[in-house]
């Protein structure tokens, strides 16, 4: 995918949402990887030079051993030959010019779990 640095930028238990962000430098766009309905995260907080791959059968078995039955899709993030995992029902990747602390989605105020993304 990229040789840029991605950070676990935001996570909320109450809404099961996570955001990985690579901050743009020198006029570059940010790259945001947004997840919703997250049920499992196994990643470092900083990842440099990641790629996203489809899960292999070994990945699916690994997650099944960890979680048993699970809902959502497995996202495999590969960095330096190591595989990291996020299981979520929603994944979106967007480029944007949002401010440093601006999030690409609204957090539901009614605790319904429904969300909307900005700048679609």
| Band of pLDDT at residue 116, cut at 50, 70 and 90 | low
Q: What is the pLDDT of residue 3?
A: 86
Does 46 map to a domain? Answer: yes
Number of domains in the chain: 1
Identify whether 106 is part of a domain.
no
Mean pLDDT value of segment 87-105: 88
Distance CA 21, CA 50 (A): 12
42 part of a folded domain = yes
Structure tokens at 78: 């590969």
Q: What Cα–Cα distance (Å) separates residue 120 from each residue in 37, 69, 100, 113, 116?
A: 19, 32, 19, 19, 9
| Cα distances (Å, whole numbers) of residue 19 to 9, 37, 62, 109 | 5, 12, 23, 18
Identify the domain containing residue 59 by its residue range: 5-101
Q: Tens digits of per-residue pLDDT, 39-92?
A: 999 999 999 999 999 999 999 999 999 999 999 999 999 999 999 999 999 999
26 or 48, higher pLDDT: 48
Residue 31 included in any domain: yes
């Amino acid at each position: 995918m990229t040789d840029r640095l991605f950070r676990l930028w935001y996570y909320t238990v109450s809404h099961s949402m996570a955001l990985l962000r690579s901050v743009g430098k020198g006029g570059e766009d940010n790259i945001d990887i947004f997840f919703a309905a997250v049920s499992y995260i196994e990643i470092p907080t900083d990842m440099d030079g990641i790629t996203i791959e489809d899960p292999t059968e070994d990945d699916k078995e690994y997650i099944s051993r960890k979680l048993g039955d699970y809902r959502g899709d497995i996202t495999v993030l590969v960095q330096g030959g190591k595989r990291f995992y996020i299981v979520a029902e929603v994944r979106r990747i967007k480029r944007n010019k949002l401010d440093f602390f601006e999030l690409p989605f609204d957090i539901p105020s009614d605790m319904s779990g429904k969300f909307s993304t900005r700048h679609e």
